[in-house]
């Protein structure tokens, strides 16, 4: 968060740049005056030179006339007298011209001296101006750099499988010496990306690799990716919980993080003591913590238990207090991992509101990890998408969500239901679904025996595992659907105006073949986004907790 001093310094830098530009304009005008003066003197010199040339021409002409007169047989003395008279006149003109030339030379010398001094002044002014501009540029560069809160450069984190601790003093010294020489880690091996869907051949796995991004101060940034994408590793590196294998990441200011349930607090200390401990770690004074104390306790709702050791708190109480401490204490960067999923819906909403206030109202930077795309969309203006430890994109949130969901739909979903059945290639299209959108659901049922299915009924469950819809396919597919080991059953279902409210959902299926009669859960997870706003609508919908499960497509009017 930019302090008042930073803002004043930035304003002074911009004012100095404006003054320097005005000084440059004045220097340019003075330089133009000097050049105009020199041009005027040059014109005067040209006029005098032409006058001297005229005198020289007349002298030559008189000399020629004198020669002619002297050769004549007439009165030679008279001719010489005339010539002498003319020569005297020319001599006077030449004397006057020489005086003019001397005066002009003196004036030119003075002008040259003034011009030289003016040029020196211009040069000095330009030198000073260049220095001022460089200082102003540095100040502007500082202003731009001040706006960057988090920066990652070629960031990577590798783990060696099957090892508890691989570090030794000798290896650390060799790594340090290599780093001083600007060389790579001598013990670093190529390894593989963190792809959990297939077996690997290397014991080195890159949880993160070649990550580069910048986050501006005051931004709320979502970090999106499936399990194992590297989200938590990235936040742990930024929080200084672990160190990167390659590259570096820097954060401007103090960092408050809420990464996992059970971290950040001392279990033997009371809630009150942990609040003061965390504030002291962030560099806050006791009076500052006391000023925030009542607000923290009220937000967390643990006033009755504030003097109880936190080891006796429930997970929900612990997360509420931990978030309240992280959000209210004065840190420049707030990092929140998926721990908010432990809290109830009301508290999650409260936390999202507080993080929005922290980012927009207080100018602090928020990094938020969640699998709930609705929460990401409500809070974050920009998002980072990670996949198998690689940076897929860093863009606006809607585009990022769309890219993430496209990667999800392109992945083949397969799940073994029991010893006889397996479901494969579960796809929901489009990848980005809003409530009341149309969609297509397709999947394959594989069996290792010849069976006849009497009932196939896909089901939809909410995030609390409550069944909210069932699609009975008996009227359309029949009650005697054959399936064989080499003949999988491929089913496609088209749903018009999917009426379920926004949220996270799971797909299940009920199968009945007289031998296997069973509900199968959590075959595929998907998310429904809020209904698209229609042009002209100015009244927003009620909160989801008041609207049940369905969006009904209806029209109404007042009867006369």
Provide the token pair at 463.
Answer: 């995030």
Instruction: Give the pLDDT of residue 551.
Output: 75
The helix-helix angle for 286-300 and 271-281 (nearest 10°) equals 130
> Rounded distance, CA 484 to CA 474, Å?
19
> Rounded distance, CA 135 to CA 509, Å?
69
- Measure CA 284 to chain center: 28
Q: What CATH number should be reported for the domain whose range is 4-146?
A: 1.10.287.620
> Rounded distance, CA 73 to CA 276, Å?
131
Instruction: Write the CB contacts of 468 (distance below 8 Å, at least 6 apart in sequence).
Output: 460, 461, 462, 500, 505, 549
The per-residue DSSP string of 345-413 comes to HHHHHHHHHHHHIIIIIT--EEEEE-S-HHHHHHH-SEEEEEETTEEEEEEEHHHHHHHHHHHHHHSPP
Give residue limits of the domains in the chain.
Answer: 4-146, 149-407, 413-546
Instruction: Give the pLDDT of residue 493.
Output: 92
Q: Give bridge partners of residue 414 from the DSSP assignment.
A: 424
Q: Give bridge partners of residue 482 from the DSSP assignment.
A: 452
Q: For domain 149-407, give the fold.
A: Rossmann fold (3.40.50)
> Rounded distance, CA 86 to CA 99, Å?
20
Provide the token pair at 321.
Answer: 């207090």
CATH superfamily, region 413-546:
abc- transporter (atp binding component) like domain (2.70.50.60)
Cα 449 to Cα 203, 420, 443: the distances in Å are: 39, 7, 19
Cα 155 to Cα 35, 151, 175, 237: the distances in Å are: 57, 10, 17, 10
Please write down the HEC assignment for all residues of 401-453: HHHHHHHHHHCCCEEECCCCEEEEEEEEECCCEECCCCEEEEEEEEECCCEEE
Instruction: Give the pLDDT of residue 1.
Output: 45
Instruction: Give the pLDDT of residue 171.
Output: 73
402-427 burial by CB neighbour count: b if 16+ within 10 A, else e?
bbbbebbeeeebeeebeebbbbeebb
Instruction: Write the CB contacts of 103 (distance below 8 Å, at least 6 apart in sequence).
Output: none
> Rounded distance, CA 216 to CA 221, Å?
9
Instruction: Give the pLDDT of residue 25.
Output: 62
Work out the burial of residue 193: count CB atoms within 10 Å of its CB; fewer than 13 is exposed, 13-18 middle, 19 or more buried: middle
How do the pLDDT tens digits run along the chain, 560 residues long? 444 455 555 556 556 656 655 666 666 666 666 666 666 766 666 666 666 666 656 665 665 565 555 555 455 445 555 555 665 666 566 666 656 666 666 666 666 566 556 556 655 655 665 555 555 455 445 444 568 889 999 898 888 776 555 567 777 787 778 777 777 776 666 555 555 555 556 667 888 989 999 999 889 999 998 878 888 899 889 888 888 888 888 888 888 877 765 567 888 999 999 899 888 877 778 888 899 899 989 988 888 999 999 889 888 888 888 888 888 877 888 888 876 666 666 777 788 888 888 888 788 898 998 877 778 888 888 999 998 889 999 999 888 887 887 666 545 455 666 778 888 888 888 877 888 888 899 999 998 888 888 889 999 988 777 888 899 998 888 888 888 888 889 999 999 888 888 888 888 888 888 787 777 777 888 888 888 766 555 556 666 666 677 777 767 677 87
Q: On the CB side of 128, how many CA atoms lie within 13 Å of its CA?
A: 13
Q: Please, are residues 157 and 245 in contact by the beta-carbon 8 Å criterion?
A: yes
Which strands sit side by side in the sheet containing 433-434, from one edge to the other? 433-434, 517-529, 503-512, 455-462, 467-470
Work out the burial of residue 351: count CB atoms within 10 Å of its CB; fewer than 13 is exposed, 13-18 middle, 19 or more buried: buried
Instruction: Give the pLDDT of residue 129.
Output: 53
Cα 41 to Cα 28, 49, 112, 401: the distances in Å are: 20, 12, 10, 73
- Measure CA 364 to chain center: 14
Specify the DSSP class assigned to residue 276. H
Q: Please, are residues 186 and 175 in contact by the beta-carbon 8 Å criterion?
A: yes
């Amino acid at each position: 968060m930019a302090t008042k001093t930073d803002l004043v310094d930035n304003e002074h830098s911009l004012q100095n740049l404006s003054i320097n530009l005005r000084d440059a304009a004045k220097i340019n005008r003075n330089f133009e005056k000097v050049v105009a003066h020199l041009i005027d003197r040059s014109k005067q010199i040209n006029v005098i030179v032409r006058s001297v040339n005229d005198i020289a021409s007349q002298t030559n002409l008189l000399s020629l006339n004198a020669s002619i007169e002297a050769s004549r047989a007439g009165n030679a003395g008279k001719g010489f007298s005339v010539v002498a008279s003319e020569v005297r006149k020319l001599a006077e003109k030449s004397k006057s011209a020489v005086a003019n030339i001397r005066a002009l030379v003196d004036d030119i010398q003075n002008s040259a001296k003034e011009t030289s001094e003016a040029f020196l002044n211009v040069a000095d002014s330009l030198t000073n101006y260049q220095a001022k501009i460089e200082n102003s540029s540095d100040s502007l560069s500082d202003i731009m750099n001040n706006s960057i809160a988090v920066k990652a450069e070629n960031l990577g984190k590798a783990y060696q499988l099957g090892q508890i601790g691989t570090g030794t003093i000798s290896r650390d010294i060799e790594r340090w010496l290599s780093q001083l020489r600007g060389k790579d880690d001598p013990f670093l091996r190529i390894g593989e990306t963190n792809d959990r869907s297939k077996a690997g051949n290397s014991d080195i796995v890159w949880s993160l690799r070649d990550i580069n991004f910048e986050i501006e101060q005051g931004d709320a940034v979502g970090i999106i990716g499936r399990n194992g994408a590297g989200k938590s590793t990235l936040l742990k590196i930024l929080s200084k919980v672990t160190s990167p294998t390659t590259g570096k990441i820097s954060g401007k200011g103090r960092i408050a993080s809420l990464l996992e349930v059970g971290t950040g607090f001392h279990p033997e200390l009371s809630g009150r003591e942990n609040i003061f401990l965390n504030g002291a770690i962030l560099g806050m004074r006791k009076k500052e913590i006391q000023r925030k104390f009542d607000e923290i306790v009220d937000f967390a709702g643990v006033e009755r238990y504030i003097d109880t050791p936190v080891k006796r708190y429930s997970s929900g109480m612990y997360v509420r207090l931990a978030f309240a401490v992280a959000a209210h204490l004065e840190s420049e960067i707030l990092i929140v991992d998926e721990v908010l999923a432990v809290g109830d819906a009301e508290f999650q909403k409260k936390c999202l509101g507080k993080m929005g206030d922290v980012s927009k109202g207080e100018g602090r930077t928020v990094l938020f990890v969640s699998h709930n795309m609705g929460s990401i969309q409500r809070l974050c203006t920009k998002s980072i998408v990670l996949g198998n430890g690689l940076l897929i994109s860093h863009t606006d949130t809607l585009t990022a969500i769309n890219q993430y969901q496209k990667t999800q739909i392109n992945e083949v979903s397969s799940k073994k239901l029991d010893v006889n059945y397996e479901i494969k290639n579960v796809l929901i299209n489009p990848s980005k679904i809003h409530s009341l959108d149309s969609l297509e659901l397709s999947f394959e049922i594989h069996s290792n025996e010849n069976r006849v299915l009497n009932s196939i009924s896909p089901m939809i469950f909410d995030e609390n595992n409550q069944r909210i819809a069932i699609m009975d396919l008996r009227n359309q597919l029949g009650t005697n659907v054959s399936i064989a080991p080499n003949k999988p059953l491929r089913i496609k279902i088209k749903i018009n105006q999917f009426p379920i409210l926004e949220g996270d959902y799971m797909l299940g299926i009920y199968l009945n073949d007289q031998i296997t009669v069973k509900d199968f859960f959590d075959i595929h997870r998907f998310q429904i986004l809020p209904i698209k706003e229609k042009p002209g609508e100015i009244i927003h919908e009620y909160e989801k907790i008041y609207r049940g499960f369905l969006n009904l497509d209806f029209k109404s009017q007042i009867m006369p």
